Amino acid sequence: NARAVINTIIPIVKEFNHLGSSPCGHFEGIMKSYVEEDRSSSFVNWVGPKWETPIKTSNAWLKSRRSENAEGEKLWRVHDKLYDLNKFAAVHPGGEQWIALTRGTDITEAFESHHLTNSARTILAKYLVKDAETPRNSPFTFKEGGFYCTLRERVKEAMKGVKRGPAAKSKMFADSYAIATVLLASLAAVRESYVIAAASAVCLCCLTVIAHNFFHQRDSFRMFYWSLSGFSVKGWRISHSLSHHLFPNSRQDLEITMFEPLLQWTPKKDKTFIARFVSWLYSPIVYCSLFHSQWIFRMVLNPEGILDLIPLVLPAAMMVIGNVSLYSAFFWWNTILVMGSFCFCCVGLNAAHHHPDILHDGDEPRNEKEMDWGIYQIDAVKDRGEIYGVFPLVIVLFGDHTLHHLFPTIDHFHLYNLYPVLKQTCSEFGIEFKLVSQWELIRGQFLQLARNYTISLKAKSS
């Protein structure tokens, strides 16, 4: 198993280090860190995931989350109470999967941010089992009258009369990009054109981003557009919705830890020269390999049966629509996946989270013991001015990112209308909210890779 492999590698690396020829230095320590308990460097009492293997998967993260909630092994924790949602899972409006995935974990942040109205809280009370005896492993609060609860009440009022679920325009964009991806992929194989393949790859990237809007919400067939890239809806509901969205830029954020040690965005003092600067050169290789690596790792470590075959829709379409050979379809499909993966990472990794002015684990937060969850989100996210209010760009470029983090189940189409209440609430609580340029975030992402010093947000505390 993976632990045995690591235990075999460490002595070899130790000898390699003794020769003084290790290019990265202290590689043994890096490998050992993969089988040890992670811990936040920003919040004093926040314990991070307990990784048992160096490959940081969604399932491994969930296993660690369950170990934090030992007293409620088969229960769901919300704040300081334990609930039994087994009988509720089948009738959960958002779909059974959300309940099944989170069994045995603390779902406080997910519950609070995914439910605007009080009806969910009324239903939850019916399934109460007992009070929790141990404190939560989280520094985040949802106090009445606090920033997030105040903002949520105002958003609830602003959303009155708005139909729940995906907006018609979001559906139209999703279906249009799906058709364009398939047709352009088939045409690329027929014409043997890299230009057309690149166009299909851009459409696949855009489709993947759009599909992410759907897997945040209740189950629908459009959420599986996400899987045309090789990604897993189930896996990313864990790594993105439950990990990254709730705990951005922390040690509980899989979108930070799963790229390590190749891409290290946290400001570690002992970050190597390779991690700080050479990563600028090899990061495009990482970008190009994400679609393939996610699909392969999943099929090997956490196969999902027939759902693993969804990416094959593209080469199958090439053969049926374009009447090309299996070899040609295979070649052009992989070409499109590599290009699409590069495009997706260029968009996603430069969209909102990585910049020397943005809070990352290791930096000094406003309060190192406890903090309003909504304020933490604002400190860990920035929005781009160029796409502000432009829905065709917002839906394909992870736009309106701050509001999306705060209210992930609200369709992207409606987020722009919530800016007035966000700005009003930020002003009342003394929280700065300002837009930056796309170029500043691209530049900042590389500077963040190089950053080995910490910043303090204590002066911003309200």
**pLDDT tens digits along 55-78:** 889 999 999 999 887 776 789 999
Question: Which pLDDT score is estimated for 301?
Answer: 85
Which H or E run contains 250? none
Collapsing DSSP to helix, strand or coil, 365 comes out as: coil
Which H or E run contains 420? helix 419-428
Distance (Å, rounded) from C-alpha 11 to C-alpha 18?
11
> For residue range 287-309, what is the model confidence (pLDDT) as tens digits?
999 999 999 988 888 899 999 99
Does 210 reside within a domain? yes
Work out the number of other CB atoms within 10 angstroms of the CB of residue 20: 7
User: How distant is the alpha carbon of residue 61 from its chain centre?
Assistant: 13
Structure tokens at 184: 């352009």
User: How distant is the alpha carbon of residue 295 from its chain centre?
Assistant: 16
Work out the number of other CB atoms within 10 angstroms of the CB of residue 222: 20
pTM listed for this prediction = 0.89
pLDDT of residue 395 exceeding 90, the answer is yes
Taking phi over 0 as left and psi of -120 to 50 as alpha, with beta for the rest, 20 belongs to left
Sequence-distant (6+) residues with CB within 8 A of 60 are: 49, 51, 52, 53
Does 22 reside within a domain? no
| Partners of 366 in the β-ladder | none
**Phi/psi at 82 (5° precision):** -110, 135
pLDDT over 70 percentage in the chain? 91
The string of DSSP codes covering 89-154 is GGG-TT-HHHHHHTTTSB-HHHHHHH--SSHHHHHHHTTEEEE-SS--S--EE--TTSHHHHHHHH
Does 243 reside within a domain? yes
Does 71 reside within a domain? no
> For residue range 339-365, what is the model confidence (pLDDT) as tens digits?
999 999 999 999 999 999 999 999 999
> For residue range 118-165, what is the model confidence (pLDDT) as tens digits?
999 999 999 999 999 999 999 999 999 999 999 999 999 999 989 989
> For residue range 177-222, what is the model confidence (pLDDT) as tens digits?
999 999 999 999 999 999 999 999 999 999 999 999 999 999 999 9
> For residue range 319-336, what is the model confidence (pLDDT) as tens digits?
999 999 999 999 999 999
Burial grade of 210 (CB within 10 A; 0-12, 13-18, 19 or more): buried
Burial grade of 148 (CB within 10 A; 0-12, 13-18, 19 or more): buried
pLDDT of residue 231 exceeding 90, the answer is yes
Confidence of residue 38 (pLDDT cuts 50, 70, 90): confident
Question: Which pLDDT score is estimated for 14?
Answer: 42
The string of DSSP codes covering 316-349 is HHHHHHS---HHHHHHHHHHHHHHHHHHHHHHHT
Question: Cα torsion for 300, 303, 307, 312, to the nearest 10°?
Answer: 10
- Does the N-terminal peptide bond of residue 166 adopt cis geometry, omega within 30 degrees of 0? no
Distances (CA, A) of 22 to 14, 31, 35, 324, 400: 10, 13, 21, 48, 44
Question: Which pLDDT score is estimated for 362?
Answer: 94
Domain count, the chain: 1
Question: Which pLDDT score is estimated for 459?
Answer: 73
Q: CA torsion sign, 187 to 192 to 198 to 201? A: positive
Does 316 reside within a domain? yes
Does 278 reside within a domain? yes
Does 361 reside within a domain? no
Rg for the chain (alpha carbons), in Å?
22
Collapsing DSSP to helix, strand or coil, 49 comes out as: strand
Does 235 reside within a domain? yes
Sequence-distant (6+) residues with CB within 8 A of 271 are: 264, 452
Q: Domain range for residue 337?
A: 168-249+274-348
Average pLDDT, the chain: 91
Question: Which pLDDT score is estimated for 44?
Answer: 86
pLDDT of residue 387 exceeding 90, the answer is yes
pLDDT of residue 21 exceeding 60, the answer is no
Question: Which pLDDT score is estimated for 365?
Answer: 94
Distance (Å, rounded) from C-alpha 313 to C-alpha 94?
27
